[in-house]
Amino acid sequence: MVSGRDSHAVPSYGEVLRTPAYLQVFLAATFSTWGDYIARVATAAIVFSWTGSAVATAATFAVSLIPTILGRGLLGPLCDRFPAKATMVVTHLVRACIVGLLILTVTTTRSVPLVLVLVFLLEFVGGPAITASQMILTEVFAHDRRLYAKGLGLGILAGQVNQAIGLAVGGVIVSSLGHLPTLALDVAAFVIGALLLMTVRLRSEPPVSTSTNFFSDLAGGWRQIRGDRVLTRLLLLSLTATLAISAPEAVALPYADAATHSDSSRWGGLLMAAPILGTVLGLVLIGRLSAERQSANIMRLALLMPLPLLVTIFQPPLWIVWLAWFACGALQAFMLPLQAAFTLLVPTALRGRVFGLAGAVSVGVSGVSFLVAGWISERTSPAASVGICAVITLGILILVAARWPKDEVAGSIEATFAETEHPEASEPAAPAAEPAAPPVDREHTSGG
């Protein structure tokens, strides 16, 4: 341990921000998120001004989903072949160039298909940057995994806020400055992110993979997940919860329209924001607990998460619905310790392909969940859709909980955090000089 903090004490956000290199990574992620959402708002506004078509405008948002899945799944293994820092710098610069091509396209043509292709590439190239950012954080906090868990929470918390800021600021900038200046600011956001990452100095970076076969990389990532019971259950829990998490946002606008008939836009936006704001509060609260207590509450919070949504079935006043969806968002805080545990339990040498594959699957399931919630809404009602999705999720979560390897998960997580609290336990030494043997070191015994 490098700090004077007690080994089981909860780190502060101040300690996280004072950790060398973290602030640059944090700010780079902030600029990247702003760039993503500003680009989406700007391109949607451009396409709408050209076509006046709501379908074409929606396509600029929808087209970002598939490339995100492909980018994380297919390009994720690149993060095992090249240093995470270099991967992030290159992807930021390439994305800046793509936005530059988008500016050139907008000024010289009115081709909607070409704009959509460039938006596709912009999201596709961003896939490995997400995986690399996860990997670089594990190196920044390699000396203290409790600090890593706190830093991950701060990053997720900031990500929620930055999404809202990116959308809001993007709309304001487009309306105030116009399309081209907005896209120019987007280029600047990616370039600034790359420059910040260039200043990062890591203590060390893990050795890169010498594999040259992408498909064998992906297969290796899948084998790692399937071969580890704890990783499999963590991923399964995350995917199971997705339907209830997605349903409110998927039907917020039609729900508000059915409830108000006149003020649907305002209430639709408020309802969509409710789970996000709830998640922010939940992350703040769970971040005050130790890593062990956070992990011990994963399944409890997951089982409670769909329950507030059941209120929606009775179509109460909208402010009650807002509070219920806010509560659901707060209970989604279990995803923080789940993601931290998943990250730390993956062997270092396989993190790129495993993170990329798991992320791609998660995004894909999220997209399907949106479609399912919308399909149910059309055949019943928005209120019934939220309630049905909550009941389905709760039923599956109960089945997952019945086979949840509680002791195995707890032991794996304790072993993970023990690695930085008792580093001498992993070093060769005379048996008499060592403390009692810790639980199995999953990272090193799994080939990391």
State pLDDT tens for residues 102-121: 999 999 988 888 988 898 88
Count of beta carbons in the 10 Å neighbourhood of residue 340: 25
On the question of pLDDT at 226 being above 90, the answer is no
The model's pLDDT over 1-11, given as tens digits with 9 standing for 90+, comes to: 444 555 566 77
Give residue 387's pLDDT: 94
- 236-258: average pLDDT: 85
Q: 273-305: string of b/e by CB count within 10 Å (b at 16+)?
A: bbbbbbbbebbeebbeeebeebbbbbbebbbbb
pLDDT given at position 71: 65
Closest CA to 354 of 447, 252, 286: 447
* Mean pLDDT estimate for the chain: 78
- Global confidence as pTM: 0.68
HSE toward the beta carbon, residue 312, CA cutoff 13 A? 33
Q: Which of the pair, 208 or 51, is modelled with greater confidence?
A: 51
- Angle between helical axes of 335-345 and 145-177 (0-180°, round to 10): 120
**58-88: burial string, b at 16+ Cβ within 10 Å, e else:** ebbeebbeebbbbbbbbbbbbbbbbbbbebb
Tell me, what's the pLDDT at 331? 94
Residue type present at position 273:
A
**What's the gap between Cα 406 and its chain centre?**
24
User: What mean pLDDT do residues 125-154 have?
Assistant: 78
Q: What gap in Å lies between CA 392 and CA 380, rounded to an integer? A: 15
Cβ count within 10 A of residue 398 = 10
Q: How far apart are CA 85 and CA 136, in angstroms?
A: 7
Q: Which residues contact 410 (CB under 8 A, 6 or more apart)?
A: 292, 295, 296
pLDDT tens per residue across span 62-86: 676 666 666 666 666 676 677 888 8
Question: What's the CA gap between 330 and 290, in Å, rounded?
Answer: 18
pLDDT band at 97 (very low <50, low <70, confident <90, very high): very high
Q: Would you state the pLDDT for residue 447?
A: 38
pLDDT at 72: 63
pLDDT in tens, 382-403: 899 999 999 999 999 999 998 8
Taking phi first (over 0 means left), then psi (-120 to 50 degrees means alpha), and beta for anything else, what does residue 346 get?
beta
Q: What is the 3-state secondary structure of 284-325?
A: HHHCCCCHHHHHHCHHHHHHHCCHHHHHHHHCCCHHHHHHHH
Q: Which one is predicted more confidently, 188 or 176?
A: 188
Distance CA 403, CA 427 (A): 35
Q: How far is CA 307 from CA 81, 338, 362, 386, in A?
A: 43, 20, 22, 11
CA atoms of 448 and 220, how far apart (whole Å):
13
Q: With DSSP H G I counted as helix, E B as strand and the rest as coil, what are the percentages for the chain, rounded to 5? A: 80, 0, 20
Which comes out higher in pLDDT, residue 155 or 299? 299
Residue 428 has pLDDT above 50, yes or no: no
Q: Which of 127-131, 298-302, 433-437 has the lowest mean pLDDT?
A: 433-437
Q: How confident is the model at residue 368 (pLDDT cuts 50, 70, 90)?
A: confident
Distance CA 227, CA 308 (A): 35
The yes-or-no verdict on residue 265 having pLDDT over 70 is no
**Averaged pLDDT for residues 281-304:** 86
Mean pLDDT of 162-182: 76
Higher pLDDT, 422 or 432: 422
Q: Which of 153, 202, 146, 206 is nearest to 421 (CA)?
A: 146
List domains and CATH numbers for the chain: 14-202 (1.20.1250.20), 213-423+436-441 (1.20.1250.20)
Collect contacts of 392-396 with beta carbons under 8 A, ≥24 apart: 392/243, 392/244, 393/240, 393/241, 393/243, 393/244, 393/305, 393/306, 394/244, 394/303, 394/306, 394/307, 396/240
- Spell out a b/e string for 91-116, using b for 16 or more CB atoms within 10 Å of the CB, else e: bbbbbbebbbebbebbeeeeebeebb
Between 208 and 29, whose confidence is greater?
29
